[in-house]
Amino acid sequence: MKKIFIFFLVFLGCDISAPIESEVVARVGENTLIKEDIINLVPDGLSKDDSIKILTKYIDNWALNQLIRENAELNLSVDEIEEITKLSEKYYNELFITAYKNKVAAVNSDTIVNSSDVIDYYEEFRDNFKLYEDIIKGRYAKLSKDNFNLQEIKRRFRRLNNNDKSFFDSISIQLLNYSFNDSTWINKNLFFNKIPVLNDLEKEKIVKNMLYHSKEDSMDLYLVKVNDYKKVDDVAPIDYIYGRIEEILQNRKRVDFIKKFEKEILDNAKKDNKFQFNK
């Protein structure tokens, strides 16, 4: 390990950005760690002490792995080493093949899912997409009740057209918490967790009747408006599960394409006599 440390000190004394090709930083037996392997480990602007800590930890781990591997090669049986080698080759081949299949599938038009595919699938299987949670579309805002402009804020919040959204952008620093993304479905409990002053009866009334509501506590004013809601066991709206259906269809098309792709490779290999099978 002393040898490792000596190489490391020499490395730190050099300019880390200097283009010295294959400069040895550490050595364990016949195995070497070169500058190119670690040059990008240290973020720009880091102090020398912090750089030393990062590099020391990496080099120590590298050395430890080399030393343990040397011991493993000496102490494992030939059969054990052969089994590990076979597993390594199998794993490498699987990674290599999978990466290629994924690349081919990603650029093939047969795996593209469009909106009509999603809509057709949703309409055919809509009864399978029952909600397991209450969801709503709504908006909320929290602000100090000492705000001088409360009536204007309430009026614009309740209406919320494009001009109102621009208004809230201009005063966003005055809002303690808010969300105006009321075109997106969200779990009802997650939504109302942002408005802790409301009791359960108030929440249910707001949701059921899709109301605008305001409420104060000792310091703050809370504004809430629910635009739509769905209950547990209702059919999920398509825009709530669009991404899920899209993923289902993409996976299905990808599997079908890869099966077709594999068959074509085998058929072409047999046709060109690259693959022969003697039954």
- Banded model confidence at residue 279, pLDDT cuts 50, 70, 90: low
> What would the pLDDT profile of 68-87 be if each residue is shown by its tens digit?
999 999 999 999 999 999 99
When mean pLDDT is compared across 6-20, 91-105, 206-220, 226-240, the lowest value belongs to 6-20
| Residues comprising the chain, all counted | 279
Mean pLDDT of 16-41: 77
For residues 83 and 89, give the distance between their C-alpha atoms in angstroms, rounded to a whole number.
10
Residue 25 has pLDDT above 80, yes or no: yes
- According to the model, what pLDDT value does residue 212 have? 96
Mean pLDDT of 23-51: 86
Q: Does residue 142 contact residue 177 with C-beta atoms inside 8 Å?
A: yes
- According to the model, what pLDDT value does residue 21 have? 53
What the block records as the tokens of 188 is 């009802």
> What would the pLDDT profile of 221-278 be if each residue is shown by its tens digit?
999 999 999 999 999 999 999 999 999 999 999 999 999 999 999 999 988 888 877 7
Q: What is the pTM of this model?
A: 0.67
Domain range summary for the chain, segments of one domain joined by +: 2-75, 131-230
Mean pLDDT of 124-142: 96
Residue 8 has pLDDT above 90, yes or no: no
- According to the model, what pLDDT value does residue 12 have? 52
In order, the DSSP letters of 159-200 are H--HHHHHHHHHTGGGEEEEE--TTS-EEHHHHHTT-TT--H
Mean pLDDT of 150-157: 95
Identify which of 95, 101, 135, 124 has the alpha carbon closest to the alpha carbon of residue 248.
Answer: 124
Portion of the chain with pLDDT greater than 90, in percent: 71
For residues 253 and 226, give the distance between their C-alpha atoms in angstroms, rounded to a whole number.
38
State residue 89 phi and psi, 5-degree precision.
-65, -40
Residue 119 has pLDDT above 90, yes or no: yes
For residues 157 and 167, give the distance between their C-alpha atoms in angstroms, rounded to a whole number.
10
Residue 47 has pLDDT above 60, yes or no: yes
Q: Could you give the count of Cα atoms lying within 13 Å of 83 in the half-sphere of its Cβ?
A: 5
Residue 66 has pLDDT above 80, yes or no: yes
